[in-house]
Amino acid sequence: MGGNIAWTIRLEDSTEYRMERWTNIFPEVTMDDTFLLGSPLAFEDAMRSWFAMKQDWEDNKDTGQFRENMTSVYAPYPNLLAPSEYGLVVTDFVSKTIISCNGYTSLERVRVYISMLEGRENELRNYHTNPPVSEQKKHVEWLYNQGRIHSVGWRSGHIPVAPDMAFDDVLKQAFTLEPEPGSLSYVYAAPPKPWTIEDYTFETSEGWERTYQRVKDLGFVLSPQEHKGFADTIKRWAPRKARKRRA
């Protein structure tokens, strides 16, 4: 399953890109270290499809004869800095802050496979991943060596990682929360310094109120339509008052 997440990027020179993007780029593309640390090539890779659709929209919006399959799905270009189907992510290179209020994934999530465990390297089963699991294990171990992995878990909960826990034990712990551990689990890693993540709860009015306030605190200028988008979402998730029973 998947859908749209609103994603706004503000670069260090204050250039902004306000977009709708498909969920499958979160978190792998949006949290890539080289992207967050300012690599022009990583930025180009992250934005290539959106730039192509933006050009397609500008060239063909009057006729609707688009070259790219998803151009109309993510229109207009730019889009809104406001809640979308699966929420909102703001990546601000000015303050080195990531704001996330989304119902799809934790942006700190990193996949780990049971085949990464000692003695199980050949248990790839149906997971033919790109890059290969062996390369992904090296990346996870690199995050571990940097001290950035802070917890492990799956949908049923998270377990904090002790500072002195060995790397193989971190991987083993990642598969302990499910009654029948599968081939895929997750570790959770902090972004590269000096970046910070502010994560707000998607299905609550409070989460959206705090997201809305932080966007304004960081100096983003919102249009009337964007203000309305936040207001409608906050109202949507507001607790419903209990109906009074008739005497």
**What does the block give as tokens for 190?**
């902090």
Peptide bond before residue 224 is cis, with ω within 30 degrees of 0: no
- How is residue 77 written in tokens? 């270009």
The structure tokens listed for 245 are 């029973």
Bridge partners, 22 (sequence order):
4
Question: Rounded CA gap, 5 and 20, in Å?
Answer: 6
How much is the pLDDT for 247? Answer: 40
Domain ranges of the chain: 4-105+195-236, 109-189
Which residue reads 């200028």 in tokens? 221
- Helix boundaries (H) for the chain: 33-36, 40-60, 133-145, 167-173, 205-217, 224-236
pLDDT at 130: 74
| Per-residue pLDDT reduced to its tens digit, 111-129 | 998 888 876 655 555 456 6
User: What pLDDT shows up at residue 118?
Assistant: 74
pTM of the model: 0.91
**Residues in the chain, pLDDT under 50:** 126, 242-247
Q: Are 109 and 186 in contact (CB under 8 A)?
A: yes
pLDDT tens sequence across 229-239: 999 999 999 98
DSSP 244: P
**Inter-residue contact 36 to 27 (CB < 8 Å):** no
Cβ–Cβ < 8 Å for 48, 15: no
The pLDDT of residue 245 is 44
Q: Which residues pair with 14 in a beta bridge?
A: none
C-alpha span between 8 and 19 (Å, rounded): 6
Question: Is the four-CA dihedral 208, 211, 217, 219 of positive or negative sign?
Answer: negative
Angle, helices 224-236 vs 205-217, to 10°: value is: 150
Strand order in the sheet with 97-102: 16-22, 4-10, 87-92, 97-102, 196-199
**CA dist., res. 134 & res. 131, Å (int):** 8
- Structural contact between residues 203 and 237, judged by C-beta atoms closer than 8 angstroms: yes
